[in-house]
A and B are shown apart, each in its own frame.
Chain A
């Protein structure tokens, strides 16, 4: 790992000094032991701050949107970051030429508090970058997800309706609507999110079951066909809500109804399920 970190620092220095890129996005040490925070630098002198270890939890791709007006961006990508880049290119947030992608091997990231892999990493199916301009280090061995992708969803579906109702109501009630799941999501890229449109009044300001449910269900519908399953929403949730249980439900249904599809694997992927149609789609509303 430290070998990769040294190469990464040297490469970032070269890129910034040559002027090929204007800024670099990666990670630096945080305030606490084993903590890392996202890092954005524009000066080659700062490249010593860059670190890469097994605690780099954040998926940093979304910062490209903020720094790309300054010029080309060098971005560290692992599996999740690279798929987020594809996702945002497909959503026309930026173009491929705006970013220089430095691929990094990833064998899952650890929670600094527990020392164990993050849940999102145990479920990861693309740990190596799917798109990059150069790769630093050898690709890591393919990770095997701990359990089936949709096992939890199927288990919940089998429960009686009222128990499921109570279960999800508890989740909605617990939500504090900090919108961290939206802020971190590489699919939630609307310039003006519906929850911020106060004068339109989509989203009320009270924190109660009805408003929280409204927010969560809308969030799921908005990203349903574009979710790259990076699991960042779950990781950042301060209330530890299992948000992927909703996203995966929508993905599972769309796979069943409209054919298998995985978002974010290429930047010119076929149109996602809900913005297209076929004449012979499933019909159950006759």
Chain B
């Protein structure tokens, strides 16, 4: 697996579009991260406050709770050309709404197996619990997921959608 130098790989600070092809022709994946408002999003915020470097290939999408994440969101994201999807929530027991992530855990356990059964690479759909204090874990997770997906290459979007 290629080691990515974050400083070199990171896009310019003004990068705001979805395009983001690196100038040197290197593959830059498009990764969608669903982040729970109360834990992971705060964790990402803390990572920013601490000036941690992580690849700019990840797009955060804030949801009120990881229990809000409908499996359909994930299929839709992959169908529409995201190279990977990361689902993040509070650690079990820490949910702001007390039980939301327990349901997510069961749902995602089944859903991940189903997606892999239907032919998706396991790396393209990942679930992690990241708390509001775990800025380092957020950075590490995002970096790791980005590296894994870079190694895999672009997702095989069906031709009808790619048009």
Contacts and interface: CB of A to CB of B under 8 A. Distances in A.
State yes or no: do A and B come from one complex.
yes
Interface of A: 153, 156-157, 161-162, 164-169, 194, 202, 206, 208-211, 213-214, 217-218, 220-221, 224, 246, 249-250, 253-254, 257-258, 273-279, 281-286
B84 to A, nearest CB: 15
Q: What are the 7 closest A-B residue pairs judged by CB atoms, nearest first? A: A165-B119, A277-B102, A208-B160, A209-B158, A210-B79, A285-B127, A253-B113
Contacts of B103: 274-275, 277
Interface of B: 71-72, 75-76, 79-80, 92-93, 99, 102-103, 105-111, 113-121, 127-129, 157-158, 160-161
A156 B129 CA distance: 30
Nearest to A171: B118
Contacts of B108: 285
Contact of A277 (B75, B105, B114): B105
A216 to B, nearest CB: 8
24 contacts: A153-B117, A162-B119, A164-B118, A165-B120, A167-B119, A169-B158, A209-B160, A210-B160, A213-B118, A214-B72, A214-B75, A221-B71, A249-B114, A250-B110, A250-B113, A250-B114, A253-B114, A257-B110, A258-B106, A273-B110, A277-B105, A277-B106, A284-B109, A285-B127
A78 B128 CA distance: 45
A283 B105 contact: yes
B107 A274 contact: yes
Contacts of B119: 161-162, 164-169
Contact of B110 (A153, A167, A274, A277): A274
A257 B127 CA distance: 17
Contact of A249 (B107, B113, B128): B113
Majority secondary structure of chain A interface residues (helix, strand, loop or mixed): helix
Given A157-B117, A168-B119, A253 B105 contact: no
Nearest to B118: A168
Nearest to B79: A210
Given A169-B119, A208-B160, A286-B129, A254 B76 contact: no
A254 B160 contact: no
Contact of B109 (A208, A218, A257): A257
A56 B107 CA distance: 36
A157 B113 CA distance: 10
A210 B71 contact: no
A250 B107 CA distance: 11
B72 A202 contact: yes
Nearest to A221: B71
A221 B111 contact: yes
B105 A249 contact: no
B106 A274 contact: yes
Contacts of B111: 221
Given A208-B161, A249-B114, A274-B110, A213 B75 contact: yes
B115 A210 contact: no
Contact of B115 (A162, A217, A278, A282): A217
Given A157-B117, A279-B102, A281-B106, A217 B158 contact: no
A283 B92 contact: yes
Contacts of A254: 110
Given A164-B117, A168-B119, 13 more contacts: A157-B117, A161-B121, A165-B118, A166-B119, A210-B157, A213-B75, A214-B72, A217-B118, A221-B107, A246-B118, A257-B109, A273-B106, A276-B106
B67 to A, nearest CB: 10
Nearest to B76: A214
A217 B158 CA distance: 16
A224 B114 CA distance: 10
